[in-house]
Amino acid sequence: MLVKNVTYILLGCFVMAVAGCSATGTTSADKRASIERMHDRVLQDIYAVSPQARSHVASSPGYAVFSNAQINLFFLAGGGGHGVAKSGGRRVYMKMGEVGFGLGLGVKDFRALFVFHSASAYRDFVDKGLIFSGEADAAAKAADSGGQIGGGIPVGNMTLYQITESGLALQATLKGTKFWRDSELN
């Protein structure tokens, strides 16, 4: 009974988190503007906690910013979100989805910044968009209260910065994430 109730609560939180991290607006232009506002806030927040990220972005051939909601229920994890990849002033609006397995419980709404170290790494991300990684994470954050402890494993030729917007999660998972172009917004 307790497991069933916890599962329902987590699923409800996940639905609210996904709604909170989706691009808002009724037109494509409104959705793009929403993603650009999220992009600006994420960079500002990440630069505040990781000042070196600013120089990494400035000197990189490309980067991507994503908003993601994730749920972990015991041995399975899943999530989804949206974002934008930028290189040389060009924008590619994208969506993402992820699945994983490991040990975890919780829901979190987080933001990610991928900084690519080569033009080919950026192109592979935009064109193929498949990342396999491991993640160990403990996060407890509501509004401006709480904090997070996180450690992503660097994958390929990029650096990942991540910040939790809100959520409560404890996890150790292996996951696959797929990124693809948003056909409506490009």
138: closest CA among 95, 165, 104?
104
pTM exceeds 0.85 = no
Summarize pLDDT for 143-177 with one digit per residue, the tens: 554 444 443 335 678 888 888 765 565 666 777 88
Summarize pLDDT for 94-150 with one digit per residue, the tens: 999 988 887 777 777 888 999 999 999 999 999 998 876 666 555 554 455 444 444
Give domain status of residue 186, yes or no: no
Backbone angles phi, psi at 183, to 5 degrees: -65, -25
pLDDT over threshold 60, residue 77: yes
pLDDT over threshold 70, residue 1: no
pLDDT of residue 74: 78
Give domain status of residue 109, yes or no: yes
Give domain status of residue 55, yes or no: yes
- The residues, ordered by sequence, that sit 6+ positions from 163 with a Cβ below 8 Å of its Cβ are 42, 45, 46, 49, 110, 111, 148
Give domain status of residue 97, yes or no: yes
- The residues, ordered by sequence, that sit 6+ positions from 36 with a Cβ below 8 Å of its Cβ are 84
Integer CA distances (angstroms), 120 to 58, 132, 156, in order: 17, 18, 11
Summarize pLDDT for 7-39 with one digit per residue, the tens: 444 444 444 444 444 556 789 999 999 999 999
Q: Which domain covers residue 64, as residue numbers?
A: 2-181
Give domain status of residue 22, yes or no: yes
Summarize pLDDT for 35-51 with one digit per residue, the tens: 999 999 999 988 888 88
pLDDT of residue 107: 78
Give domain status of residue 159, yes or no: yes
pLDDT over threshold 50, residue 6: no
Q: What is the mean pLDDT of residues 57-83?
A: 90
Number of domains the chain is built from:
1
